[in-house]
Amino acid sequence: MPRGQNQQGHVLIRAGVLLFLLGLLTGLLAPVLENRRMVLSSHLEGVLNGIFLVLVGLVWPRLNLPARWLRIALAAALVGTYTNWATTLAAAALGAGERLMPIAGAGFHGRAAEEALIAVGLGTLTVAMITTSVLVLTGLKDPPEGATAGPR
């Protein structure tokens, strides 16, 4: 495994722990932001996406992908997870998001620019998370050269 790949895995783990912490802290904002259901969504997105990044970072050394694909997967994972948390947090603070998040955003419709911001965030995170998932799954298809299949 190239040293760079090992460092990328560490970056993902560290970014995951930070996002987990941000998710926890987001939960404290429920009393002060406009949409409490959306704050809960943002809290959960931060915590769960943080765990996802840690998990991806732990399997990162097992990925058998070209260096370029690894860089794309790394960027997509970071963009997708942080955008997921930030978009739901923005929706909570702005009182927006009803059109695309009808359960958490019920009764909260922002101005056109705010709703557009939420739509761009949701679209971005969707593409990024699908890209991440496909690349990680592809990289796990065959073990890297010299890797063992598991415990003996």
* Domain presence at residue 146: no
Q: Which domain holds residue 20?
A: 3-139
Quick check: helix, strand or coil at residue 48? helix
Q: How far is CA 69 from the centre of its chain?
A: 18
Q: What is the pLDDT of residues 139-150, one digit of tens each?
A: 999 765 666 555
Give the residue, 108 or 93, on which the prediction is more confident: 93
Query: Cα 78–24–29 angle (5° rounding)?
Result: 110
Percentage with pLDDT > 90 across the chain:
68
**What is the average per-residue pLDDT within 88-104?**
81
* Domain presence at residue 151: no
* Domain presence at residue 55: yes
List the structure tokens of 116.
Answer: 């557009």
Query: For the chain, what is the domain count?
Result: 1
**What is the average per-residue pLDDT within 119-123?**
95
CA distance 120 to 66: 30
* Domain presence at residue 131: yes
- Judged by average pLDDT, the poorest of 15-19, 132-136, 146-150 is 146-150
pLDDT in the model for residue 152? 44
Q: What is the pTM of this model?
A: 0.87
